[in-house]
Chain A
Amino acid sequence: MNEEKPFRSPPEELNALQAEINEVKAVLREISARLSRIERHAKRAFGVALVKKSLAQPRAERTRKPADAPTIKTEEALPLFDGLAEKWRTGAADKVDRELEEMAIADLKVVAHELGIASATKPTRRSLKDGIIRRVKESVMLSKNTNVTAPRSEKSPQVAPEGAAQQGAQADEPQRD
């Protein structure tokens, strides 16, 4: 149907709508026929009881088991991560490892998601744990300071280098605001 074309009269518009409804009905009939065919094949392959049971349950319920529901909220994930990083920083890596091992996989998923860890559609406990530990290590490394030299102030008295004060007094010296 060309939607751009204006109708000359109401009966003409009604006819066009009727034709469109017939088209939709034909598509629905086709879908229904295909579903019946799939159901027939499935019954033959997996048995009547199993297929009936699975069809009786809504899709969302079928795919998510109660055990999969996370026990932590998304806003709790980052504070939990901070706690893990702090423990790692103080040398309690084994505690972090144990804590992650004891967490439900759904909770690990929440933490990993909030940390932006890319994972497969069905990540394993191992991959989630490794991803979180990687972020923990990054957090520790980012805040680690490994300067090995002493500050200049500790080596010599804090005086401006010779000439700096005189140069500062010169006419072409801009002032830092």
Chain B
Amino acid sequence: MSKSPKTIATINFKGGVGKTTVTWCLGDVVSAFSNAKVLMFDLDAQMSLTQAIALNEDTGALEERFGAWYEKATSREKTIFHALDRFARPSSHFDFPIGFDFIYQIANDFHFVPSVEDLYWTELEVFDREGVKDFIRRLLGKITNSPKVPSYDYVLFDCPPSFTLLSYSVLSCCNLVLIPVNPDFFASKGTNLILNSLKMRIEPFPIPKIGVFMNKAKTWGSSPTKETAFYMREVAQVCAKAAKAQKIDATFFESWIPERVGVKRAITSGGVPGELVDPFKQLWAEVIKYIA
């Protein structure tokens, strides 16, 4: 049996904190600077990650190679929505063979399962909510055991900014919940909510480890500004208190990612900006140490 990959879900109920960019940057840096094979899921019906990866900014259409692949995947019913649809059918067998018609190869060691707009309607169309909880767990099992795709070291999930059925499914089986926060009150506020309510929401499944870090840190020279440092300190205290009160594994990573304008555009232009490579490497080193 193949080795199970480490799974990391990026989530924050606040939109715009950088979940999509962080997920992609981590995937890109890890696959480019190590021997690890990375699979990344876009579970957000807004399709931000999918479009950022494959949108041709000049024409506004999907990039040619991805566009052709995506069209084929949709017509053959090999999207994440179709996988969920098969899983939710009242049948004991989850019939959904895994291959490169379901997984898109961005680079040699960096693969991707795109999103579809139909995910907007999963909440309405899927009636067996309890059953959906196991969807990602079972899908990962299929991917791990499929001889047609490589054995992945890490699986990253870009979750929507809300507690949907799919994010519920991811959180109940992942190794790490990665929460990016920003140096402002509203982007930091959600941390306490997740830390203090996640356990009760996903019971009786064990709660995964939770790692919080500062994204889009404002800097002065090479250090965070006093204002950013204030929010880092406050969120670190929230993590420590919640870990104690809820008896969960929650930590605030020391690594932080500086704010850079237009970083999302870097996804379409092919690589993590040079000045962000080291910060993401440092964050990854902390993540790996934490979930080891």
Q: Mark B199-239, 1 if CB is under 8 A from A, else 0.
A: 11101111010000000000000000111111001110110
Docked-complex contact B175 and A172, CB < 8 angstroms: no
A-B contact count (CB 8 A): 99
* CA–CA, A167 and B138, complex, Å: 8
Within 8 Å by CB of A151, from B7, B203, B205, B206, lies: B203
Residues of chain B lying within 8 A (CB to CB) of residue A143: 192, 234, 237-238, 241
Chain A nearest CB from B87 CB (Å) reads 10
Chain B nearest CB from A117 CB (Å) reads 8
Q: Mark A118-149, 1 if CB is under 8 A from B, else 0.
A: 10000000000000000100110111110101
Within 8 Å by CB of A147, from B185, B188, B197, B225, lies: B197
B133: Cβ under 8 A from any A Cβ: yes
Chain A nearest CB from B151 CB (Å) reads 11
Residues of chain A lying within 8 A (CB to CB) of residue B227: 115-118
Chain A facing B: main interface SS? loop
Residues of chain A lying within 8 A (CB to CB) of residue B193: 145, 147
* CA–CA, A115 and B225, complex, Å: 10
Docked-complex contact A152 and B226, CB < 8 angstroms: no
Residue of B nearest to A118 (CB): B227
- Surface stretch bound by A, among B20-28, B139-147, B247-255: B139-147
* CA–CA, A174 and B188, complex, Å: 33
Docked-complex contact B196 and A177, CB < 8 angstroms: no
B119: Cβ under 8 A from any A Cβ: no
Residue of B nearest to A150 (CB): B200
The count of chain B contact residues (Cβ–Cβ below 8 Å) is 46
Docked-complex contact B200 and A153, CB < 8 angstroms: yes
Q: For the side of the interface on A, what is the size category?
A: 35 or more
Residue of A nearest to B224 (CB): A116
Chain A nearest CB from B242 CB (Å) reads 8
B131: Cβ under 8 A from any A Cβ: yes
Residues of chain A lying within 8 A (CB to CB) of residue B134: 163-164, 167
Docked-complex contact A176 and B4, CB < 8 angstroms: yes
* CA–CA, A149 and B200, complex, Å: 9
Q: Using known A-B contacts A145-B196, A158-B203, determine if residue A172 contacts B141 with beta carbons closer than 8 Å.
A: yes
Q: Using known A-B contacts A142-B185, A143-B192, A147-B196, determine if residue A116 contacts B229 with beta carbons closer than 8 Å.
A: yes
B265: Cβ under 8 A from any A Cβ: no
* CA–CA, A152 and B168, complex, Å: 14
Q: Using known A-B contacts A153-B200, A158-B204, determine if residue A142 contacts B145 with beta carbons closer than 8 Å.
A: no
Chain B facing A: main interface SS? helix
Residues of chain B lying within 8 A (CB to CB) of residue A172: 94, 138, 141-142, 144-145
Residue of B nearest to A160 (CB): B204
Residues of chain A lying within 8 A (CB to CB) of residue B141: 170-174
* CA–CA, A153 and B203, complex, Å: 7
The residues in B between 163 and 211 inclusive whose CB is less than 8 angstroms from any CB of A are 173, 175, 185, 188-189, 191-193, 196-197, 199-201, 203-206, 208
B residues engaging A (CB < 8 A)? 4-7, 94, 130-131, 133-134, 137-138, 140-142, 144-145, 173, 175, 185, 188-189, 191-193, 196-197, 199-201, 203-206, 208, 225-230, 233-235, 237-238, 241
Name 8 extra pairs, CB < 8 A, besides A143-B234, A160-B205. A147-B197, A150-B200, A152-B203, A153-B203, A158-B204, A160-B204, A171-B141, A171-B145
A residues engaging B (CB < 8 A)? 78, 113-118, 135, 138-139, 141-145, 147, 149-153, 158-164, 167-168, 170-177
State the 5 A-B residue pairs at the shortest beta-carbon distance, nearest first. A116-B227, A172-B141, A116-B226, A151-B200, A174-B4
A-B contact pairs, 15 of them (CB 8 A): A78-B233, A115-B227, A115-B230, A118-B227, A141-B185, A142-B185, A142-B191, A142-B234, A144-B192, A145-B193, A158-B203, A158-B204, A164-B133, A164-B134, A170-B141
